[in-house]
Structure 1
Amino acid sequence: MNIIKTSKVTGVTKSEIKFYQEEGLVAPQKNKKNGQRNYNDNDIDMIMLVYALRIIGFNIDVIKKCLNNMTYLYECMVKAVKELKTVFSEKQEIINAIGRIENREKVMDNLDDIILIANSVEDYKKENEDNYVSDKILKSFPGNYGKLIILQYGQFLTVKLNNEDKKQCFKRILKYIDNLNNFKINKNMDIMLGSLNNDILYTLRDEKLKTINSVINNNLEEIEKIKSNIISFINLSKDDEEFKKAFIKNKNKGRTLEDCLKEKSYYDNFIIDLRFISKLYDEYSKAIINIEKELGIKYDKDGLMYFE
């Protein structure tokens, strides 16, 4: 089957599947007629195994070692269970699954048990960890693509998916983003994102979160800063023709995630799901709209703000 069907069957994003290929963990054959990769049953099983091990908390290097060493796999699974004992407390089926792993000779013989453990870990993280959504995005979209999503939306996603509706909303958000096949990060942004590790990325996210909370809580100093920045931008674009031209040129040249979502007709549903998951996003959006109303802001066809 092709990558689209494989993604649906496994629940793994196309971006993550391609990452596994780049890491040499799966090697589907090419269809000579159309050049597409065909994933067979063995490829599907390997994708599911690697996906499950990543959920449990193993990085790619550890996974590669586990695939070639059953003893090491068992040791890593036992360690993971100890570190996540809250997840597995009073879950005898998980303890039994770990025991079965110890007594088998091949990694693939343990696939069902590893998936069972991974599902238990993921359910716990969804409902109890503020960083689950951000971590999931970075795993689902390896490299700079995932970093860009966190940079733009991460501050709104420090949330727990503590009911089924939120879980389904987030599942759809991942699908929308994964289907933006025509999105490319511009060169300067790509270089900048490449310089960020996850710790720096989350620090930037948390700094943005502080600002957002200040605005929502009606911090007058922060609100005045935003108003001042808007006014300065409008005056500069009105008085400096070169600045205006450069802004329009860069805007037209650098297509954003929002642009691509709109082209695919995903944007409205994406925002609806984001608002449902994140009360913070909804409140901040309303606060910015109110600020723009106070200033009498409108947007022209080029996306430039002006005073009404």
Structure 2
Amino acid sequence: MKIQEVMRLTGLTRKAIYFYEKEGLIRPRIDETNQYRDYSDADVDRLRLIAALRSLDFSVQEIKRLLDGQETPIELVRRRLAGIRQQKEQLDRAERVLAALCEEPLESGELLRRLRAEGASYDQSRRLDADYLAGRLLELFPGAFGRLLSLHFGAFLDEPLDSPAKEQAWRELVDYLDAAGEFELPPVLKELDALTESDFEHIRMASLEHLRPYLNPDDETYGRLLAQARAALNSVPFQAYNRSQAEFMAPLKRELAAKGFYEGVVSRLEVLSSSYRAYRDTLRRLQDDLGIDYGEQGLIVF
């Protein structure tokens, strides 16, 4: 069927349908005679399901995991419910604080002083939330640099700040990043600051989905990662890509190395995050099994 009929049956706009197709959630047949899309009943059913899940605030990445068979419906629902309950607890805490302040006849100066005190207390109470560190990272380092940190490391900051060792590692990480000064980011990375919140969140979730298989993979998943990496390394475009990426990132990598970035960040993240330790272990295992290393110019070498 044609897209006008799909729009009528699903209540979705043309742009939404094309977006879900671009994301790989539906794959309509293309009529080779005129290049028109031919949508099936199965495509319509999928779009109805997608629309229903989006109305319940499921992300595109969560829906993709469900449709790709990476997560069962009950696993998806339980994980989303846990996230909603955590968000609700955070909002309930904030509501109680603000409601209490509204009930007191405070002058403006006193109200601001109380807000500062209550804000500090609220921040302290949030430290046992699993998503505290990832959110705090963006609060402490706003702009392109903070978003770059969030893309690279935010996925691993998924544990509460629940031990003295983690508290110390977090303080040292923040102090290091704050004292390291400005980094000269490549122009394309500076554009991170111009993204809307929703666009950035979409990129962040895609990055998380890319990293997920590397966290404690079973034998089957690791075998798939190894095969994918070997195929990529042996592909014809790889040499050009390898060279272009090395040239693109080389100046930033040199600057990061000169400022002790890897020692300053990696060692602290390994204290803060078991998932980061697992990710590093998988990368080291792949590197050993593939017999690869990084040369002085940042090139991947065999």
TM bucket by the smaller chain? 0.5 to 0.7
Shift of 1:306: 2.3
Specify the alignment match of 1:146 in structure 2: 146
1:292 to 275, 287, 292: 287
Q: What percent of counterpart residues are identical? A: 18
Q: Distance in 2 between matches of 1:86 and 1:246?
A: 49
Shift of 1:183: 0.5
- If the length of structure 1 is used for normalisation, what is the TM-score? 0.58
Q: Distance in 1 between matches of 2:255 and 2:165?
A: 25
Specify the alignment match of 1:74 in structure 2: none
The amino acid of 1:186's aligned partner reads P
Specify the alignment match of 2:157 in structure 1: 157
Structure 2: state its 5+ residue gaps.
1-88
Q: Distance in 1 between matches of 2:112 and 2:121?
A: 14
Q: Give CA deviations for 1:102-146 in whole Å, capped at 9, x if unaligned.
A: 332x42x44543232112210121112x33222212121222121
Specify the alignment match of 2:126 in structure 1: 125
Shift of 1:159: 2.2
The question of whether the paired residues in 2 share the 8 Å contact of 1:97 and 1:117 is answered with: no
The question of whether the paired residues in 2 share the 8 Å contact of 1:132 and 1:160 is answered with: yes
Specify the alignment match of 1:212 in structure 2: 211
Q: Distance in 1 between matches of 2:236 and 2:120?
A: 53
Specify the alignment match of 1:306 in structure 2: 301
Specify the alignment match of 1:167 in structure 2: 167
* SS of residue matched to 1:270: helix
Alignment of 1:77-96 (within 5 A): 84-86=91-93
Shift of 1:244: 5.8
Specify the alignment match of 1:31 in structure 2: none
Alignment of 1:30-109 (within 5 A): 84-86=91-93, 102-104=105-107, 106-107=108-109, 109=110
Q: Give CA deviations for 1:225-248 in whole Å, capped at 9, x if unaligned.
A: 45434553466588x5x6665444
The question of whether the paired residues in 2 share the 8 Å contact of 1:275 and 1:281 is answered with: yes
Shift of 1:303: 2.2
Specify the alignment match of 1:15 in structure 2: none
User: Structure 1 residues 98 and 152 mapped into 2: Cα distance closer, same or farther (>3 Å)?
Assistant: same
Structure 1: state its 5+ residue gaps.
1-81
User: Structure 1 residues 202 and 219 mapped into 2: Cα distance closer, same or farther (>3 Å)?
Assistant: farther
Specify the alignment match of 1:277 in structure 2: 272
* Cα RMSD after superposing both structures: 3.3
Shift of 1:301: 1.9
- If the length of structure 2 is used for normalisation, what is the TM-score? 0.58
Q: Distance in 1 between matches of 2:172 and 2:123?
A: 17
